[in-house]
Amino acid sequence: MATAQQLSHVWPLGSRVNDQGHLELGGCDAVELAREFGTPAYVVVEDDIRARARAFADAFAARCDDFEVHFASKAFPCTAVLRLLRDEGLACDVASGGELAIALKAGFDASRIHLHGNAKSERELAEALDAGVGHVVVDNDMDIDRIERLVPAGVVQRVQLRVAPGVSPDTHPAISTGGPNTKFGFGLQSAPAAIERLDASEKLDLEGLHLHIGSQIYDVGSFRTALEAMARLAIHGMVNLGGGLGVAYVAAEHPPSIEEYVAAKVDAVHAIMGPDVRILDEPGRALVANSTVTLYSVETIKRNVDTYVSVDGGMSDNLRPMLYDARYEAQVASRFGGGTFCHLVGKHCESGDLIVRDAELADPRVGDVVATPATGAYGYAMANTYNGVPRAPVVLVKDGRARLVVRRETYEELTGRDVG
């Protein structure tokens, strides 16, 4: 009989291989979860998310008095996940009318929701204003035009101004957002005029500046560089630092800790902008990525030049390997270890539907449950129905109990919007 063991930092907090040699998540046997809920399935460890939310809040509280942590809901826009983070005292940022609706359904007070986006429609802005969102993050001059037109006479809407500081951190180009040639925000040359316009507005109250230089960042010094570039702009007493902390997708990766990330940001704000500036931060993936494991079932094994282990999901439930060449780990949930080098691939009609290139699995067999960790960020968010594959369910696990919070999509729902 195997000895129970804790797993690496890639897996959700508290995960282990139990005495039966099976992966255990939130006290639940992963093989039993696959049997009960089917595969593919996103399994979310509730305690992991709560612990990370508290770690962010505690780290900021230890270094500054006036702060607010927002969950960047685009990372995992699932109502049940948002409720957990609301319960932990976090605020929320949204980037569309749909995300706003999800956040409101999850119970966030509208005054603690911020609306983002580089292409906000008039309808989305009207929905946000009607809901009473705390801030609209102004991205461009058209935002200002529309908000001023929509805000009733005698009403003032609080806003932040998004600035692109011209800093490109060491991350994938698709998730680098603060460089000199980006679709997001005002450049350093155009920001002063926008600030002047907002300061003169009778309907808009500019409370501070916003920057977000990108995601999956390991070099926390990039945040200071960005703030230094913005130092000559009037900050209005508040700065929103975006998010960006990287996470570990494979055991060999060791990103900065939450405490190191927060220290770098707060210290930079205090040094460059002063000790009394209100600090907002919007972590996304770092709150949820490692909380979740996707479970698959092996359908076929094929040996051509290489060995291909094909499972019942793939690019419909995790598009990141195909978009960003993102790397993941995988294990047979009932036989941890290695021995068989293979490619873990999905069921979709694309040669690029490759979940883990050069995986090492323990004697994979048809019917095995395979687990890939660190899928909480942007897996569910980017889920799709390519090849008519219904979207996967979400299961919350805690203290040995499992709770279905998003059911599996049905075939009928694939055509539910047809009108002819």
Task: State the burial class of residue 243 (Cβ atoms within 10 Å of its Cβ: 0-12, 13-18, 19+).
Answer: buried
Q: Residues 192-216, buried b or exposed e (16+ Cβ, 10 A)?
A: eebbebbeebebbebbbbbbbbbbb
Residue 157, SS3 per DSSP: strand
- Please, which residues have CB within 8 angstroms of residue 227's CB and are 6 or more apart in sequence? 165, 211, 239, 268, 269, 272, 273
Question: Looking at 28, 78, 342, 349, which residue is catalytic?
Answer: 349
Active site residue 349: yes
Phi, psi of 48 (to 5 degrees): -65, -50
Is residue 126 within 8 A of residue 103, CB to CB? The reply is: no
Is residue 193 within 8 A of residue 234, CB to CB? The reply is: no
Helix 122-131 to helix 141-150 angle (10° resolution) is 50
Strands 340-345 and 307-311: parallel
Beta bridge partners, 372, equal 294
Angstrom distance (rounded) from CA 140 to CA 70:
22
- Give the C-alpha distances (Å, rounded to integers) separating 308 from 49, 266, 362, 381, 387: 33, 47, 14, 27, 20
Angstrom distance (rounded) from CA 18 to CA 49:
22
Residue 260, SS3 per DSSP: helix
DSSP string for residues in 111-136: GGEEE--SS--HHHHHHHHHHT-SEE
Residue numbers annotated as active site: 349
